[in-house]
Amino acid sequence: MQEYKRIDISKAEIVPIAERMRKQNVYLVMIHAFVNKEGLLDVSWDYAVDPGVESYHVVGETTLPSIGEIYDAAATWPERELNELFGIEFEGLDTTQRLFLPEDLLETQGRGQIMVTPLAELVEKNKKEAGQ
């Protein structure tokens, strides 16, 4: 079984950790996010420290530094994705073009709608909007 190690960090540690990992040629597996039980955003930077994954978590922040200058597109694509799905702002990240979601969805429903709102509530909201 692959080892998975969760390490909680502060927002200020994100960039220094990314720089250290880059120096050691460690692959950035992915940047993930979810809304935890308390309703706070839990964002993780998962690095392939073989044979396991070291997962650095920041909880409760909606604006975070971008590590795009360190990991290039390997970081900016996940950051753009999280910006669209969760509305997380990454400082310095170019978000002028959409990555995944259709532009009309971003404009009309607001960022983060898809991942944060339960499906049942979305269906109800759409019904109301359609006047049913």
Partner 1 sequence: MSYIVPIGPYHPALEEPVHAKLYTEGELIKDAEVFVGYNHRGIEKLATERNAIQTLVLVERVCGICSHSHAFTYAMCVEAINGTEVPKRGQYIRVITAELERLHSHFLWLGIACHIIGHDSMFMHIWDERELVMDILEKMTGNRVNYAMVTIGGARRDIDDDLRREILDACVKLKAPLDRITEIALTDKTIAMRTKGVGVLPTADAIRLGAVGPHARASGVNIDVRRDAPYSCYDEFEFDVPVVDSCDVFARVVVRALECYESIKIIQQALENLPEGPINLGTKLPKIKEGQAVCRHEAPRGQLSHMVVGNGGLTNHRVSVHVPSFKNTPTVPFMLRNNTVADAGLIIASIDPCFSCLDR
Binding residues (CB under 8 A) for partner 1: these are: 1-2, 4, 6, 25, 27-30, 32, 34-35, 37, 44, 46, 48, 50-53, 55, 71-74, 76-78, 97-102, 114-115, 118-119
Minimum distance, C-beta of residue 111 to partner 1, in the bound complex (Å): 14
Name which of 15 and 101 has its Cβ closer to partner 1. 101
User: Would you tell me how many other CB atoms lie within 10 Å of the CB of residue 45?
Assistant: 26
Residue 128: phi, psi to the nearest 5? -60, -45
Minimum distance, C-beta of residue 77 to partner 1, in the bound complex (Å): 6
CB 33, CB 19: distance < 8 Å: no
Q: What is the largest CA-CA distance in the chain?
A: 57
Q: Does 65 sit behind a cis peptide bond, omega within 30 degrees of 0 on the bond before it?
A: no
Minimum distance, C-beta of residue 50 to partner 1, in the bound complex (Å): 4
DSSP 66: -
Minimum distance, C-beta of residue 1 to partner 1, in the bound complex (Å): 6
